[in-house]
Structure 1
Amino acid sequence: MVRGKSGIRGASSFRAAQDAPPSGQGSRRSSPPAGNWLFKGGDGRLTAYACTPHGLMRWTEAAAPRTGWTGPDTFGIEGWTGPAAMAQSSEGYVHFVALRAAQDGSGRPEIIVSTQFQPGRPMTEWHSLGTPGLRGGPADDRLAGPPRIAVNQRSGSTHVLVSMRHGGVLRRSRNAEGAWGGWKQVAPEPYGSGVTPLMPVGGQLEMLVLGPAGADRWSGIGQGRFALADRIPTPVVPGSPTVCETGPRRVTYFWRYPGDGSLVAWRAARQGVQGGLMGLGGAGGRGAPGVVRAVVGGYDCTVLAQSGAEGDIELTAYVTENEGYGTWWASLGGHGAYAPQVAVDAAGRIVVAAFDADGALICTRQDTTQQGLVFGPWEAA
C-alpha cells in the first residue's frame, strides 16, 4: 500500500542535487506535445518526444549494455506549425498527429500523421489528411484545439480527432489494413477546446471535451456513431485534462479545478466501482498531470506526477480506482521543471521525466532496492 506519508520516502534527501537541473544545449526551444510524450517500446526502451519550432525532437534510451539516453534526434517537417500529439499501440508502435501549413497556399493548417515502429528507428513519411471540415460546412471553420490521436489496442486501427469552432468534433479513421476514411462528425456541438480521447481495450472510443457548462464525455455506441454519455457540471482548467485506462473497458479522466488548482478524478459510475468526481489534492499545481499504472508493493497503483505549487515535481500513488482512500503528494525536487510524464521502464522501475527551464529532458528513476517509492537524483538526457 502506498497511501499516506510512509508511502513515498526519500523525497528530501536529494533535493539539493535536483533544484538546479542541468541545461540542455541545443534544445532550449523545445516544448511538450499535447498529452503523453513518454513511451516504452516493444524492446523495453523508453522514448521521449518534444516539439520544436521546426518539427519533432526525440530522446531514446540506449540499448543494453549501455545506459543513459541517445539523442536528441531532430525531425524537421516543412511547413510545420505543430503542436504534435501521439498514442501507442499494443505492439509498441507510436502514432503521431500534427499540423503543418496547407500546400494550397490558403494559410490554413492541414493534419499530418506518421508512425514510429521501433525505438530509435526512423519515422515513416508524414501523410496528409487534408484540412478537416464537413461537406457543406463553413469554409473558414477553425480548429479549437490541437489534433489528438487514439489507437484501437486490438485491431491496430487509429483515430484522429479534432474539435472545430463551428463544426463540432470530427474524426478520421484508418483501419487495420491502412486505409483512411473521410472526416465524419462525432459530436455536433461546437466546443472551444481540444479533445482528450482514449479507446480502452475491448471498449468503444470515447473522449472528454470542455464546454461552457463543464466537461462532456462522448462515447461510441457502435457502427461509427457516438452519443453524449455524461455531462459533468464542473469547472475545468483548459489544457489540464488527461486520461488513463484503469479497468476493463473503463477509463478515468483527470483534470485541474480552477478554484485552487487541485486535481480531480472522474470516472463513470458502474456497479462495484467507485465513480463520479473525486478530489486528489495537489492544490496550487499547474498543467496536465502525467499518469501511469504500475505495480507498487504488489498492488496495482495509479501514479500521478505534477508541477507543484512550490515549483517542484510532485508525485502521488494510490491503489487504482480507490481514490476515496485519499492521496498524499511528495516532492521529487526538480525545481523549475514542467510537464512531467510517468512511465515504467524495462526493469519495472517508475520513471518520471520532465523538461527543465531550458527545455532539456531530465528524468529520475525509482530505486527498487528500497521499500516504498524512493527515487534517485534527476539526470539530464
Structure 2
Amino acid sequence: MRRRSAGPVDAARPGGRTDTDDGPTASGAAHGTWLTLGKDGRLTLYAPVDGGLLRWTETAAGGPRWSGPHVVPVPGLTHLTVVQGADTYVHFLGRRERTGADGTPAADVVHAIQYQTGLAVTDWRSLGNPDRGPERAARLAPPVGAVAADGTVHVFVRAAGGNLMLRREAPNGKWRAWEDLGGAGIDALPAPLALAGGRIEVCAAAETGVMIWRQTAPGGDFAGPRGFSLRPAPGTVAALETAPERATFFWTDADSGAAAAWRAGGWPVPLGGSPAGRPYAVLRTPLDGYDYVVLAYRDQDGTATLGVGGAEDEAAGFWWYGLAEPCQGTPALARDGHGRVVMALIDPGGRPRVARQEDGPGLALTRWQHL
C-alpha cells in the first residue's frame, strides 16, 4: 500500500471498546449510500438484518448520541440498496424472495421510502421482475438506483441475459414499464449517478471492458451503451460527480489490483492502494479550502482503508491509510450536520461503528464509536 508522509490528511486513529449490548445485529453492510444526512441535520445509518433492515439515528445534529436500532420488517429480503435524493428522501431498493402457492420460488424488486429523519418507512411496493419464467426470474440481480434532481427514482437491474434493465417513475408518480437498455455480460452491480443538472449516467464493468449509458436530457431516453476497452475488477465500480455535469468513476484495476479513477475521454489514473473486492464508498468534500475526494473500502485482509486526493487532480497522488478496523462489506461516508466527514462500517459481529472528523487541518478521525 502506498503511503505519503505529508499532505492534507493526517492518519486516522483506530480504537474503540467491546460492545456487549444485546439486540439485533446486522447481517452485513447495505449497498449504496447507507449513511444519510436528513434535512434536519441528523445522520441515519441503515443495515440489512434477516427479515428486514435496521436503522440507527442521531438524536441531535452532529451527534454523538444515537437511537436504535429500530427494526423495519421486510420478509424475504436478500439484498438492500439505499439511495438518497437531493430532496433528502431516502429510498430503499431490495431484492426479495418468496415461495408461490405452488411451491415455486420467485424473486422481485421492492421499493420503500423514508421521507423524514426518524419517521416511519412507507409500505414496500413490488416493482416486479424484468425477466419471465421461473428459471430466469430466479437469477434476478440486486437492484441499484439513482434519484434525479427532480426526485424521479431510477431502478437498474442486470437481467438474466446480462443486459441492463431500467424501471423509473413517470411524471404522474406511477411507474413505467421495464425498459431494456441493452448491453451484454455486465456486472451484477452497475454504478448509476444522478448529476446535479438532472441527468443520470450509469457505468458497468463488463466481460468486454466498461459500458456507459448517458441520459440525453433530464427525464429523457438513455443513449448507449458505449463500450471502452478498460479493465475494472467486477463488483468494484463507484461513481461521483467531481465537476458540474462530469462524472468520475472509481474502480479496482483488474491487472494491477490498485485503485483507479477514470473519466470518459481520458485514460484511467492509477491511485495506488491495495485491492478492493467491492465498490468504493465515495465522498466529495472541502478540506483546508481545497476540493477533495474521499474513498473508503474493505481491504483484502478484511479491514477498512481510507484514501484522500484532490478532486480531478488524481495524478498528484492519493494518500491511503489502513485503519486496522475489521468490517463487513463496503464502509459508508457522509458529512454530518456540521459539515464534518463521518465514516461508518459494520464490524464482524454485525454492530455499526462510526468515526468522525476531528477539528483542525486535514482529515483526522476520532476513535471509533460503537452504536
* Same fold flag (TM > 0.5): yes
Structure 1 position 304 matched with structure 2 position 295: yes
Aligned AA for 2:41?
G
Counterpart of 1:113? 111
CA shift for structure 1 position 301: 1.1
Distance 1:24 1:241 in 2: 35
Is 1:262–2:258 an aligned residue pair? yes
Is 1:125 aligned to residue 115 of structure 2? no
Deviations 1:72-122, CA, capped at 9 Å, x for gaps = 1111123x2320112111111011111223574441211111100111111
User: Please, which of 29, 32, 36 is the counterpart of residue 35 of structure 1?
Assistant: 32
Counterpart of 1:56, as a letter, is: L
The reply on whether 1:74 has 2:71 as its aligned counterpart is: yes
Aligned equivalent of 1:99, options 74, 95, 100: 95
Secondary structure of the 1:329 match is strand
Q: List per-residue Cα deviations over 1:116-136 (Å, max 9, x = no partner).
A: 011111101111112223xxx
Separation in 2, partners of 1:280, 1:45: 32
Give the Cα separation in 1 of the matches to 2:43 and 2:21.
19
Q: Which of 316, 319, 325 is residue 307 of structure 2 equivalent to?
A: 316
Aligned amino acid, residue 287 of structure 1: R
Aligned residues: 364
Aligned with 1:327 (options 297, 314, 318): 318
Change (3 A) 1:317 1:65: closer
Tell me the distance in 2 between the aligned counterparts of 1:201 and 1:53: 35
User: Does 1:161 find its partner at 2:162?
Assistant: no
For the residue of structure 2 that corresponds to 1:334, the secondary structure is strand
SS of 1:8 mapped into structure 2: coil
Matching of residues 322-361 of structure 1 within 5 Å: 322-336=313-327, 339-361=330-352
Q: Is the 8 A contact 1:280 1:327 kept in 2?
A: yes
- Which stretch shows the higher mean deviation, 371-380 or 251-260? 251-260
Query: Which of residues 341, 353, 357 is equivalent to 1:362?
Result: 353
Q: Please say which of residues 168-177 and 340-349 is displaced more in the overlay.
A: 168-177
What CA distance in whole angstroms lies between the structure 2 residues aligned with 1:44 and 1:239?
Answer: 32
SS in 1 for 2:41: coil
Q: 2:170 aligns with which of 172, 175, 178?
A: 175
SS of the equivalent of 1:179 reads coil
Question: Which amino acid letter does the alignment assign opposite residue 290 of structure 1?
Answer: A
1:184 alignment counterpart: 179
Give the one of 199, 215, 230 matched to 2:194.
Answer: 199
Return the offset for 1:203: 4.4
Shift of 1:41: 0.9
Sequence identity percentage:
31
Q: Give the aligned residue type for 1:48.
A: L
CA distance in 2, matches of 1:348, 1:267: 27
Deviation at 1:315, TM superposition (A): 1.7
8 A contact 1:261–1:286 mirrored in 2: no
Q: Could you tell me how far apart the structure 2 residues matched to 1:167 and 1:138 are?
A: 16
> Closer, same or farther in 2 for the Cα pair 1:298/1:361, shift >3 Å?
same
For normalisation by structure 2, the TM-score amounts to: 0.89
Query: How big is the alpha-carbon RMSD for the aligned residues of Structure 1 and Structure 2?
Result: 2.5
What's the CA shift for 1:150? 1.1
Instruction: Give the counterpart letter for 1:360 in structure 2.
Output: R
Contact between 1:4 and 1:327, CA under 8 Å: does it hold in 2?
A: no
Question: Do 1:187 and 1:226's aligned partners in 2 also have CA atoms closer than 8 Å?
Answer: no
> Partners in 2 of 1:333 and 1:196 — Cα distance?
28
Shift of 1:311: 4.8
Alignment CA distance shift 1:23-1:176 (3 Å): farther
TM-score (norm 1): 0.87
Q: 1:35 touches 1:242 (CA, 8 Å); kept in 2?
A: no
The verdict on how the C-alpha distance between 1:379 and 1:228 changes in structure 2, with shifts beyond 3 A counting, is same
**Deviation at residue 309 of structure 1 after TM alignment:** 5.3
The gaps in structure 1 that reach 5 residues or longer are: 270-274
Shift, 1:175, TM fit: 2.9
- Residues 103 and 320 (structure 1 numbering): CA distance in 2 closer, same or farther, change over 3 Å? same
Residue 294 (structure 1) aligns with: 285
Deviations 1:195-240 (A, max 9, x none): 2111212243221222211221112235743232542323322221
C-alpha distance in 1 between matches for 2:198 and 2:366: 38
CA contact (8 A) 2:26 2:54 kept: no
Structure 2 residue ranges without an equivalent (≥5): none
